[in-house]
Amino acid sequence: MSLLSWYVACIQALLILGLAPLLIGWVRRVRAFLQNRRGAPVFQPYLDLYKLMLKETRVGHTASPLFRAAPYAIFVSTWLAAATVPLIALDLPTAWIADIIALVGLLALGRFFLALAGMDVGTAFGGMGASREMLVSALAEPAMLMAIFTLAMTAHSTNLVSVMESHLADGFILRPSYLFAFFALILVALAECGRIPIDNPTTHLELTMIHEAMLLEYTGHHLALMELAAWIKLLLYGVLLANVFLPWGVGQGLDPLTLGRGLGILILKLAILGVALAVGETVLAKMRLFRVPLFLNLAFLLALLGLLSHVILEVGS
């Protein structure tokens, strides 16, 4: 772990902050195009963040100190989780600090505070959002871990860098287990990022909110941090899907040319994923809450099938 790789890790961490609003802006833009709307420019999320940062921050009378600490905890844990995923370079020292199980743990830490923040002011919608978020995550987390275990057992490692390296070394092999895990992770990503068909990020109908319900009492720079954390989470899942299953293009060296090429390929992959997400959100409708378990059970079964097909078909041979 050279000093240079730590620099690259810092650059990647900052790149996450820069790319996350861009990805969400792109998804919104494509969605607007598909829905025959003009839509906001791709850079609108940056302006939104800037606006929120300058606005006055309000806190309810009944809020406890936890309410004011939660946005920082949520933002930092999500950011740190994202910083352990190789973005443009493989040689990433932060990946050794937290392996992929710890990444899931860090995301869970953020979610824990998010749900508590929702319940803090003592409003009906906040509690509703927290209760639903914990249900969705309770069903999504095992599916996510199963999908991850499939990858980890193939590479004999839970370290993302090792997983990607072994994948690169093997060349492109279409493993059934990977295919199952990939689809399971897509379903999990939709649920965890609060996208259609689980949750509607643009909803204004109170009774269907999940993520928005927990943010309802937040304003100003608190809200900016929470929004950015949610966008980082979307980017994180996008990068997991794009880089872990298809690691080609991620730079194996640290010279500027490799990094630049890595960045270009990453943006291309994310742009494609963004289009897929926008298409999905345009053609699908949001589900009723009690249909969500079926959706996530499907994710869990896919992940379990992936794991079983790995231990039965692929290990012995």
Partner 1 sequence: MSLSLVLIAIALALLSSALSLGAGREVRIVRLVATPLIGLSGLLACTAGLGILATGNSLETVLPLGLPWLPWHVRLDALSGFFLILLGLVTAAVGLYGSSYIRDLEHGRDSIAALGVFTGLFLAGMELVLIAADAFVFMVAWELMSLASYFLVAFHHEHAANRRAAFLYLLIAHLGGLAILLSFGVLAAFGAGFGFESMRAAPLSSTWASVVFILAFIGFGAKAGLVPLHAWLPQAHPVAPSHISALLSAVMLKVAVYGFIRVVLDLMGEVQWQWGVAMLVVGGASALVGVLFALVQTDLKRLLAYSSVENLGVIFIALGLAVLFLSTGHPLHGALALGAGLYHALNHALFKGLLFLGAGAILHSAHERDLEQMGGLLRRMPWTGSLFLVGSLSISALPPFNGFVSEWLIFQSALQSWQIDSGVLRSLIPIAAAVLALTGALVAATFVKVYGVAFLGQARSRHVRRAREVTPAMQISQGILAALCILLGVLPTAMIELIDQVSAQVLHLGLLQTSAGGWLWLTPISPDAASYSAPLTLVLLVSLMAGIVWWLRHRIPRRIRRCDPWDCGFAPPSPRMQYSATGFAQPVRRVFAFFFDSEEARLDPLEPAPRYRLRLDEPSWRLFYRPLAQATYTAARWIVRLQSGNLRIYLGWTLGTLLILLWIVS
What part of residues 203-262 is at the interface with partner 1 (CB under 8 A)? Answer: 206, 216-217, 220-221, 225
Residue 142 vs 280, nearer CB to partner 1? 142
Residues in the chain, how many?
Answer: 317
- Residue 100-119 contact track with partner 1, rule CB under 8 A, x = bound: -xx--xx-xx-xx--xx-xx
Buried b (16+ CB within 10 A) or exposed e, 65-77: eebeebbebbbbb
Binding status of residue 3 toward partner 1 by CB under 8 A: no
Binding status of residue 304 toward partner 1 by CB under 8 A: yes
Binding status of residue 288 toward partner 1 by CB under 8 A: no
Cis peptide, bond prior to residue 197, ω within 30 of zero: yes
Provide the sign of the torsion angle of the four alpha carbons 77, 79, 80, 82, taken in this order.
positive
- Residue 145-184 contact track with partner 1, rule CB under 8 A, x = bound: xx--x--xx--xxxx--x----------------------
Binding status of residue 312 toward partner 1 by CB under 8 A: yes
Binding status of residue 281 toward partner 1 by CB under 8 A: no
Binding status of residue 10 toward partner 1 by CB under 8 A: no
Residue 136 vs 265, nearer CB to partner 1? 136
Angle (nearest 5°) at CA 139 between 309 and 299: 35
Is residue 140 within 8 Å of residue 300, measured between CB atoms? no
Q: Which of 17, 40, 60, 275 binds partner 1 (CB under 8 A)?
A: 60
> Own/partner pairs for 41-46, CB < 8 Å, 24+ apart?
45/21, 45/231, 46/21
**Shortest distance, position 27 Cβ to partner 1, whole Å:** 26
> What Å distances lie between residue 176 and 78, 183, 242, 310, CA to CA?
31, 11, 18, 8
Q: Which of 15, 49, 82, 121 binds partner 1 (CB under 8 A)?
A: 121
Q: How many residues bind partner 1 (CB under 8 A)?
A: 84
Residue 252 DSSP one-character state? S
